[in-house]
Structure 1
């Protein structure tokens, strides 16, 4: 897997990540969502440099200009509900992309430390020969991403796969590296070292879905 960790190079992205982590700033849900959206835009821009391009003649009121435009047929798939702001950020840049949505959540068993990933709702176009972008802001254990990809298999084999996340944990990055092909690209704004006993990223930022949209109903 090709891992693009943008935190290894200083940029304005550091400010967006710092705001997301800050316990005082993240109380503003609108700002929290917007920061995730902006990170999606930055990651999408960096990802766009790896797409396939072809020259096209563009006609302006005063003449013509050769411009290289990307040719990939993109399907953007986000994991509900936390993935919505990240999806919006990517869609701001790939506005002609097809869209897919999937619900994948943790179902806790006897203890908070043990859980399985449940996939319920799924809406997806054909993926055959297309460029699939899997978007989930938090790459913690990596199990949700793996379960999502398995659920998408009946929709065809993508030509290219890009995974886009805001913050990940190293164990999650390691897990998906084992389950996705070597030519898969991971675009991520920050990678933290640890997971808590309950499988949350440390230091991370908390529950992205709750911070973006409010506390969810208890299962």
Structure 2
């Protein structure tokens, strides 16, 4: 797996990452959503450098200009519900992309810390021979991402797979490397320390879905 760490160099990305973590800022849910969206925009720009382009000519009011445009067919697919603000950030830049949405959650079958991943709702276009961008803000155990990936692969074979996450931990990255094809790209805005005993990211930021949309039952 090819891994791209985006916060290793100072940029405006680190400013947005700091705000989504800050307990004095993140409680403003509108600001939290917007910051996640802006992180998605920055990540889109960086990811766009790895796409394929074709040469074109543009008619301007005063002449012809040679330039390039994205050649790849893109499908943005986010994991509900926390992935929605990040998805919007990617869509702001890849505005011609098709869009898919999948639900995945931890099912605690014994009402304890043990869980399995349930993948249920799916609304996804064809991914056959297209560039699939899987989007989710948090990469903790990695099990949700792998479960969604496997479910999507039942629908077709993409040309390329790019996975975009805001915060990841080494455990989740190792799980993806073990269970996903080597040719996948993983884009990580920032790498955190570890998972705790409940498989929550430390230091993390809390529950991204709750911070964006309110507490759930």
TM-score (norm 1): 0.97
| Equivalent position of 2:18 in the other structure | 18
CA distance in 1, matches of 2:111, 2:204: 22
| Equivalent position of 2:144 in the other structure | 144
CA distance in 1, matches of 2:41, 2:160: 19
Report deviation, 1:111. 4.3
For structure 1, the residue ranges without an aligned partner over 5 or more in a row are none
| Equivalent position of 1:168 in the other structure | 168
| Equivalent position of 1:100 in the other structure | 100
Partner SS state of residue 157, structure 1: coil
Count, aligned residues: 217
Partner SS state of residue 46, structure 2: helix
CA distance in 1, matches of 2:68, 2:166: 29
| Equivalent position of 1:53 in the other structure | 53
CA distance in 2, matches of 1:183, 1:58: 34
TM-score (norm 2): 0.98
| Deviation digits for residues 163-193 of structure 1 (CA, Å, limit 9, x no counterpart) | 0010011100111111222221111111112
Report deviation, 1:203. 0.3
CA distance in 1, matches of 2:29, 2:182: 37
| Equivalent position of 2:156 in the other structure | 156
- For 1:2-13, what aligned pairs fall within 5 Å after superposition? 2-13=2-13
CA distance in 2, matches of 1:98, 1:169: 29
